[in-house]
Amino acid sequence: MFTLQAARLRLRDYRPTEVPFESGMIAAAVAVVLHDGAEGLEVLFIHRAVRAGDTWSGQIAFPGGRRERGDASLLATAIRETHEEIGVDLSPAERLGVLDDLYPRTPVLPPVVVRPFVFALTARPTIVVNSEVQDAFWVSFLSLQAPGVQGEVVVEHPGMPKRPLRAYRLGKHTIWGMSERILTPLISLVS
């Protein structure tokens, strides 16, 4: 069974791969928020609102976004964005570690480099979504391992041909793209 203690132990010594920032790249960060629930370890996702001009409109994601001038670090970005998007203050939360930097594999997407920070909460916080978010929900790692959940989906994105991508299908939610690319290695790491 996946537990917060197992995640804590495995992430303690993990050394993430960082992408060297080059001119024109956009720095961003997300918060991967973990909690021990009734079915073991859970992770928090947001369902982004459908908005014109938002590259990730309507997708399942981790709270986060682009670094702003006032952010002292990418960690500060993850904390600020999580508070803005879902009203959760991660500044007092336990920081478990950092995962590998990643960037979109599709040339039509912005040249963003995302750094995922992993946090642990002892209890589920009250969530208040802002206009950028439709919903926020918890998913157990156990349910992510259920038969038929992991597979492929065919994705159609403006400016690129349809193509199959790895994904997790959980009822009305499909986790794919960069969120899947953060989640899959995390599951392997903490299992």
- Per-residue pLDDT, averaged over 149-173, amounts to 86
- Per-residue pLDDT, averaged over 79-87, amounts to 98
What pLDDT shows up at residue 52? 75
- Per-residue pLDDT, averaged over 146-155, amounts to 93
User: For a pLDDT cut of 70, what percent of the chain falls above it?
Assistant: 95
Q: What is the pLDDT of residues 21-71, one digit of tens each?
A: 888 899 999 999 999 999 999 999 999 998 776 666 788 999 999 999 999
- pLDDT range class, residue 181, cuts 50, 70, 90: very high
pTM, two decimals, is 0.94
What pLDDT shows up at residue 108? 67
Range with the lowest mean pLDDT among 44-58, 145-159, 171-185? 44-58
- Per-residue pLDDT, averaged over 156-180, amounts to 87
pLDDT above 90 (res 88): yes
pLDDT above 70 (res 177): yes
Highest mean pLDDT among 14-28, 44-58, 75-89, 106-120: 75-89
Domain CATH code at residue 22: 3.90.79.10
Which residue segment(s) compose the domain that 11 sits in? Answer: 4-190
What pLDDT shows up at residue 163? 84
Helices marked H in 13-140:
74-86
Q: What's the number of domains the chain is made of?
A: 1
Residue 138 CB contacts under 8 Å (≥ 6 apart), including other chains: 35, 37, 42, 43, 44, 45, 124
Q: Are the C-beta atoms of residues 153 and 173 closer than 8 Å to each other?
A: no
**Among 180, 165, 166, residue whose Cα is nearest residue 32:** 180
- pLDDT range class, residue 138, cuts 50, 70, 90: very high
What pLDDT shows up at residue 105? 72
What pLDDT shows up at residue 24? 85
Q: Are the C-beta atoms of residues 119 and 93 closer than 8 Å to each other?
A: yes
